[in-house]
Amino acid sequence: MKNKLLINGSFLLGASIILAWTLLYVWNEMIQSNKDNQQTSMGITNTISVVWEGKAYVVPDTLIINISVSELAKTTQEAQAQANTKIAKIKEILKNLEIAKENLKTINVNVYPEYDRSNNQRKLLGYRSQQSLSIEVAWENFATKWWDVIDKIAGIGGVNVDNTYFNLKDKNKAMADAREKALNDAKTKAEQLAKFSWMTLGKPVMITNNEINYVPTPMYAMAENAKWAWDTTMNTADLSPGQTEVTVTVNVSYEIK
Nearest alpha carbon to residue 136 among 47, 60, 28:
60
Indicate the domain borders of the chain. 1-43, 47-58+171-256, 62-167
Sorted by sequence, the CB contacts under 8 Å of residue 254 that are 6+ apart come out as: 47, 48, 49, 50, 187, 190, 194, 201, 202, 203, 204, 205
Average of per-residue pLDDT across 126-155: 83
| pLDDT, position 19 | 56
Distance CA 7, CA 83 (A): 108
User: Does domain 62-167 bear CATH number 3.20.20.140?
Assistant: no
Sorted by sequence, the CB contacts under 8 Å of residue 194 that are 6+ apart come out as: 48, 200, 201, 254, 256
Answer CATH for 47-58+171-256 from 3.30.365.10, 3.20.20.70, 3.30.110.170, 3.30.479.10:
3.30.110.170
Sorted by sequence, the CB contacts under 8 Å of residue 242 that are 6+ apart come out as: 59, 60, 166, 217, 222, 225, 226
Q: How confident is the model at residue 73 (pLDDT cuts 50, 70, 90)?
A: very high
What are the helix (H) ranges across 97-245?
142-154, 172-196, 223-226
Range from 94-103, 184-193, 236-245 carrying the lowest mean pLDDT? 236-245
CA-only gyration radius of the chain, Å:
35
Nearest alpha carbon to residue 46 among 35, 58, 61, 57:
35
Answer for the pair 217, 242: CB distance below 8 angstroms, yes or no. yes
pLDDT of 47 above 80: yes
Most confident of 106-115, 136-145, 195-204: 106-115
Q: What is the residue-averaged pLDDT of the chain?
A: 76
Residue range 10-28, pLDDT digits in tens: 555 555 666 555 655 545 5
Residue range 204-240, pLDDT digits in tens: 888 888 767 766 666 543 333 333 333 333 444 555 6
Residue range 116-140, pLDDT digits in tens: 888 888 888 999 999 999 998 876 6
| pLDDT, position 232 | 35
Q: How confident is the model at residue 88 (pLDDT cuts 50, 70, 90)?
A: very high
Question: Helix (H, G, I), strand (E, B), or coil: what is residue 215?
Answer: coil
